């Protein structure tokens, strides 16, 4: 393996480049970002060796790390242009629509549907970290549809990055991520909005904010350019999660209205079991 090309040089694409450069310094990295500032920063920071919109024909792996709504068209165009020895991997947070979009493509076997479960609330090349992907989970969907020889290139890369592989159906992936990732971002954004709305009446409200508020609202600093498309791409599953979440909030509010503090206590006590599931102390 000699050449890697990355489209989308933000947090994930940039972190991937930094980590793989460290693990395999002999590789040549080219890349492109539709945002000129991101592209300039990526070159300055050494995320890629050369800015280039199209990958060389002898590129081994092309990584697509752009917003979810751009991926179907970008993936199809990329598959149309590559030679028979290039593998295309995406880092998108939704998988069902993307896999459907290229299901009948003649070069479908040259695509690996992937999703690294890693990130921060920051975005752009300057947010990239060489250790962001270390020991993180990398989900692969429809593994059996990727050419076995090209799949070996992906395994070589992922092993070099010390990532843990998980295999899922695209629909299962989107349904589960709606609850454990997408819903948590919505919750954080809406808590942030609620407190900002309160701030219009009480300018000092943020003076009362402690570490609990900071940790809960942290995700509200995430990029809208990344998260708005995810809401659209995974609409059905997100709406299901939101309906359940809103119902639980309403029941909790009703207990407060009814002065049912024993009920509140037992409800929170049951929810405390999540510590065991997440192995938290």
Helix boundaries (H) for 11-70: 11-23, 36-44
What pLDDT score does 209 carry?
Answer: 65
Q: Are strands 3-7 and 61-64 parallel, antiparallel or unpaired?
A: parallel
Question: What are the structure tokens assigned to 251, written together?
Answer: 């029941």
Whether this prediction's pTM lies above 0.85 is answered by: yes
Q: What is the pLDDT along the chain (281 residues), one digit of tens a residue?
A: 899 999 999 999 999 999 999 999 999 999 999 999 999 999 999 999 999 999 999 999 999 999 999 999 999 999 999 999 999 999 999 999 999 999 999 999 999 999 999 988 889 999 999 999 999 999 999 999 999 999 999 999 999 999 999 999 999 999 999 999 999 999 999 998 998 888 777 666 666 666 778 788 889 999 999 999 999 999 999 999 999 999 999 999 999 999 999 999 999 999 999 888 776 44
What pLDDT score does 280 carry?
Answer: 46
Of 106, 102, 129, 105, nearest in space to 118 by CA? 129
Domains in the chain: ranges and CATH: 3-168 (3.40.50.720), 172-278 (1.10.3660.10)
What pLDDT score does 227 carry?
Answer: 95
* DSSP per-residue letters across 197-256: HHHTT-TTGGGG--HHHHHHHGGGGS-HHHHHHHHHHTHHHHHHHHHHHHHHHHHHHHHH
Question: What are the structure tokens assigned to 269, written together?
Answer: 């006590």
How many whole angstroms separate alpha carbon 200 and alpha carbon 97?
Answer: 40
Give the position of tokens 């024909």.
Answer: 57
């Amino acid at each position: 393996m000699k050449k890697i090309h990355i489209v989308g040089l933000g947090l994930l694409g940039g972190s991937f480049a930094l980590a793989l450069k460290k693990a395999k310094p002999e590789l040549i990295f080219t890349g492109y970002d539709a945002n000129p500032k991101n592209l300039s920063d990526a070159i300055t920071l050494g995320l890629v060796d050369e800015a280039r919109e199209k990958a060389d024909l002898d590129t081994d792996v092309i990584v697509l790390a752009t917003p979810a709504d751009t991926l179907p068209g970008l993936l199809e165009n990329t598959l149309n242009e590559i030679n028979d020895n290039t593998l295309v991997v995406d880092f998108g947070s939704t998988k069902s629509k993307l896999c459907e979009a290229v299901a009948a493509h003649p070069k479908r076997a040259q695509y690996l549907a992937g999703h690294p479960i890693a990130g921060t609330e920051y975005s752009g090349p300057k947010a990239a970290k060489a250790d962001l992907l270390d020991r993180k989970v990398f989900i692969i969907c429809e593994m059996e549809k990727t050419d076995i020889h090209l799949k070996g290139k992906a395994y070589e890369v992922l092993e070099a990055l010390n990532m843990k592989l998980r295999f899922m159906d695209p629909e299962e992936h989107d349904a589960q991520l709606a609850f454990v990732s997408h819903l948590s971002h919505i919750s954080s954004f809406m808590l942030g909005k609620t407190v900002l709305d309160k701030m219009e009446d009480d300018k000092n409200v943020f003076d009362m904010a402690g570490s609990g508020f900071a940790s809960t609202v942290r995700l509200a600093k995430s990029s809208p350019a990344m998260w708005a498309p995810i809401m659209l791409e995974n609409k059905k599953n997100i709406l299901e999660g939101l309906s359940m979440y809103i119902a639980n909030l309403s029941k909790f509010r009703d207990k407060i209205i009814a002065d049912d503090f024993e009920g509140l206590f037992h409800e929170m006590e049951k929810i405390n079991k999540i510590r065991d599931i997440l192995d938290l102390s």
